[in-house]
């Protein structure tokens, strides 16, 4: 998706990129109450008129910034449940440990009350849940999980583990985590699948 172009005005992709990043950071730090066109313009190093040439309102600006600049948890199909879950956990770690982590948390709290954003966020969230559940169901169908496995509990544990690890990592170790999200995702999935597939009564 591209930022809607102002009529008759040549576009500068670098300016668009700065505006999108500034919008996400502004929302992440101050929420909807602190989100203003003037604040975003100042942070992006552009005139407020430049924003209004592109967006008619702050609702439209935030909606497009989220669509363009936010990482998404999307469906994956590597052919194995383990591979799919590692990819899924990696996406979650990238989202909550990366530069848009505060924006993602703000969205979970405030999206429902923001005009023009609520509907899009809910649709995005529903699509992510559907994709994640499809991953686990494929694993059950392939015999990689017992038919009695709880799809909801498995995904809750995976998502919670990824999110809490990202949020609880000390600031001085955050960069190292961002560089190694795939490695931690693999450890998390290994632990989770072992717990789910271990025979009843097996030693911990």
pLDDT at 201 over 60: no
**Of all residues in the chain, what percent carry a pLDDT higher than 70?**
92
Q: What is the pLDDT of residues 50-61, one digit of tens each?
A: 899 889 999 999
What pLDDT does 198 receive?
75
Name the pLDDT band for 99 (thresholds 50, 70, 90): confident
- 34 and 132 in a single domain? The answer is no
Rounded alpha-carbon distances, angstroms, from residue 186 to 4, 103, 161, 174, 183: 39, 25, 12, 18, 5
pLDDT at 203 over 50: no
Mean pLDDT of the chain: 88
- 48 and 92 in a single domain? The answer is no
Angle at 72 between CA 173 and CA 56, to 5 degrees: 110
* CATH number of the domain bearing residue 136: 1.10.357
The boundaries of the domain holding residue 33 are 13-69
Residue 5: inside a domain, yes or no? no
Residue 99: CB partners within 8 Å, gap ≥ 6? 21, 24, 25
What pLDDT does 204 receive?
47
pLDDT at 72 over 90: no
pLDDT at 117 over 50: yes
- 190 and 169 in a single domain? The answer is yes
Residue 203: inside a domain, yes or no? no
More confident residue, 75 or 135: 135
- 51 and 106 in a single domain? The answer is no
Residue 30: inside a domain, yes or no? yes
pLDDT at 6 over 60: no
* CATH number of the domain bearing residue 62: 1.10.10.60
What pLDDT does 57 receive?
92
- 32 and 92 in a single domain? The answer is no
Residue 7: inside a domain, yes or no? no
- 51 and 99 in a single domain? The answer is no
Residue 149: inside a domain, yes or no? yes
pLDDT at 100 over 90: no
- 23 and 101 in a single domain? The answer is no
Q: Determine the straight-line distance between the first and last CA of the chain, rounded to whole angstroms.
A: 48
Q: What is the DSSP string of the chain?
A: --PPPPTT----HHHHHHHHHHHHHHHHHHTGGG--HHHHHHHHTS-HHHHHHH-SSHHHHHHHHHHHHS--------SSHHHHHHHHHHHHHHHHHSTTHHHHHHHHHHGGGSTTTHHHHHHHHHHHHHHHHHHHHHHHHTTSS-TT--HHHHHHHHHHHHHHHHHHS-HHHHHHHHHTHHHHHHHHHHHHHHHHHSPTT---
Q: What is the pLDDT of residues 152-193, one digit of tens each?
A: 999 999 999 999 999 999 989 999 999 999 999 999 999 999
Mean pLDDT, rounded, for 130-150: 93
- 97 and 155 in a single domain? The answer is yes
- 63 and 103 in a single domain? The answer is no
Task: Tally the domains of the chain.
Answer: 2
Question: How far apart are alpha carbons 76 and 150 in whole angstroms?
Answer: 20
Q: What is the pLDDT of residues 10-47, one digit of tens each?
A: 567 888 899 999 999 999 999 999 999 999 999 999 99
pLDDT at 80 over 90: yes
Question: How far apart are alpha carbons 29 and 150 in whole angstroms?
Answer: 36
More confident residue, 109 or 7: 109
Residue 109: inside a domain, yes or no? yes
- 186 and 100 in a single domain? The answer is yes
- 90 and 161 in a single domain? The answer is yes
Residue 38: inside a domain, yes or no? yes
Residue 3: inside a domain, yes or no? no
């Amino acid at each position: 998706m591209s930022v809607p172009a102002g009529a008759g005005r040549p576009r500068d992709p670098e300016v668009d990129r700065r505006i999108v990043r500034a919008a996400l950071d502004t929302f992440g730090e101050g929420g909807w109450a602190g989100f203003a066109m003037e604040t975003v313009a100042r942070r992006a190093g552009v005139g407020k008129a430049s924003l209004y040439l592109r967006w008619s309102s702050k609702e439209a600006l935030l909606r497009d910034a989220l669509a363009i600049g936010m990482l998404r948890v999307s469906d994956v199909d590597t052919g194995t449940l383990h591979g799919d879950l590692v990819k899924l956990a990696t996406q979650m770690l990238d989202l909550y440990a990366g530069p848009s982590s505060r924006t993602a948390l703000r969205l979970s709290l405030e999206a429902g009350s923001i005009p023009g954003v609520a509907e899009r966020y809910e649709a995005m969230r529903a699509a992510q849940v559907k994709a994640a559940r499809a991953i686990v169901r494929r694993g059950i169908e392939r015999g990689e999980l017992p038919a009695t496995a709880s799809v909801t509990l498995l995904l809750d544990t995976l998502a919670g583990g990824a999110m809490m690890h990202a949020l609880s990592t000390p600031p001085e170790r955050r960069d190292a985590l961002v560089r190694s999200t795939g490695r931690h995702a693999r450890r998390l999935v290994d632990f989770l699948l072992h717990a789910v597939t271990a025979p009843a009564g097996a030693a911990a």
